[in-house]
Amino acid sequence: MKALLDSLTPDHPDWPLARAIDPDRLPAHIAIIMDGNGRWARKRSLPRVAGHKAGIDPVRDTVECCARLGIQALTLYAFSVENWKRPRSEVETLWRLLRYYLRQELPKLMANGIRLRPIGRLDGLPFNVRRELEDVVHLTSANLGLQVNLAINYSGRAELVDAVNRLVKQAQAVHADEPFEVTEDSLAAELYTSGLPDPDLLIRTSGEMRISNFLLWQIAYAELYVTETLWPDFRQPDLLRAILEYQKRDRRFGGLTASPTVASRTEPLAVARIK
Ligand code: FPP
């Protein structure tokens, strides 16, 4: 896969946006709350599941664009623990679409060094979904390019509770009689995103101003970008506009000195590695 600018010609409509992006100040990690599938379908008098189906193309487009840009990690909110409250037929369609996506995209993930990792309470997933996810995780585990985290049966609060419980168990096993202290580093090491930089940019589609229990710990200093675009309509130019807006922000991390947005902590992987 070519780097983004190499994949476009100057007469391509995305060229000016792609040219405006500063490659030295890219977010290392982008997180997205993909919202608005139901409204997209309703506007077209289609069943809600048609909106979810139309939500696959923007997933492909976003993964490809992030890989072309050399972004290190992309986390997509695909299914929250609260989504089980939806009608069974809708939930089953979401599982079918996920399995379809995994099967369709595996060759592309492999060809482009993309690593896929589901995050969430995976033991709560239907057996066949879990098995296919595990296969893709295994097959892509040695890939060194973009890491795509799919948040599935995910809850930020549950993630924190699980992390604290693991720390408590470890402490009880090792130093049963001693008081123990949780630190930011020890807690972060137990989260699903351990080892990755925190998201620098959190995008939410469909105009809703909510966090919806997503990455509660990790987004402490993320720049928020909310677009009215409904997820099924979200494409490369929307992502590029979000990144451009991010690059205009002054990130102070609670301090007083305005520092220009920089890719946090970890350098993005060399674009040259991506085929
Ligand atoms: C939110 O829209 C979207 C979801 C709950 C599901 C996201 C799923 C996809 C994008 C489909 C494919 C995903 C993968 C990873 C292959 P909503 O239904 O809450 O929309 P509404 O707020 O307009 O009702």
Is-catalytic flag, 35?
yes
Region 51-76: what's the mean pLDDT? Answer: 98
Report whether 34 contacts 51 (CB < 8 A).
no
pLDDT higher than 70, residue 229: yes
Give the predicted TM-score (pTM) of the model: 0.93
Tokens encoding 187: 């807690």
Report d(CA 242, CA 6) in Å as an integer: 21
Region 259-273: what's the mean pLDDT? Answer: 44
pLDDT higher than 70, residue 42: yes
Does the domain at 2-8+26-248 match CATH 3.40.1180.10? Answer given as: yes
Distance between Cα 146 and ligand 1 center (Å)? 22
pLDDT higher than 80, residue 251: yes
Other Cβ atoms within 10 Å of 4 Cβ, number: 24
Tell which wins on pLDDT, 258 or 133.
133
Distance between Cα 252 and ligand 1 center (Å)? 33
Report d(CA 32, CA 151) in Å as an integer: 10
Residues near ligand 1 with C-beta < 6 Å?
34-39, 52, 55-56, 59, 76, 78, 83, 94, 97-98, 101, 150, 206, 231
User: Atom 8 of ligand 1 has which residue's CA nearest to it?
Assistant: 78
Catalytic site residue from 14, 57, 61, 83: 83
Report d(CA 275, CA 258) in Å as an integer: 37
Distance between Cα 56 and ligand 1 center (Å)? 9
Is-catalytic flag, 165?
no
Q: At 174, is the pLDDT very low, low, confident or very high (cuts 50, 70, 90)?
A: confident
Where b means 16+ CB within 10 Å and e means fewer, 83-93 reads: eeeeeeeeeeb
Where b means 16+ CB within 10 Å and e means fewer, 219-228 reads: beebbebbbe
User: DSSP of 100-128, one letter per residue?
Assistant: HHHHHHHHHHHHTT-EEEEES-GGGS-HH
Q: What is the pLDDT of residue 260?
A: 54
- Residue % of the chain over a pLDDT of 70: 93
Region 221-246: what's the mean pLDDT? Answer: 98
Report whether 155 contacts 82 (CB < 8 A).
yes
26-40, 62-76, 175-189, 238-252, range with the lowest pLDDT: 175-189
- Of all atoms in ligand 1, which is nearest to the CA of residue 232? 10
Q: What is the pLDDT of residue 213?
A: 98
Task: Supply φ then ψ for residue 79, to 5 degrees.
Answer: -160, 120
147-171 pLDDT, tens per residue?
A: 999 999 999 999 999 999 999 998 8
Q: What is the pLDDT of residue 207?
A: 98
Q: What is the pLDDT of residue 247?
A: 97
pLDDT higher than 80, residue 275: no
The Cα-based distances of 124 to 79, 80, 115, 121, 154 in angstroms read 12, 11, 22, 6, 10
pLDDT higher than 60, residue 48: yes
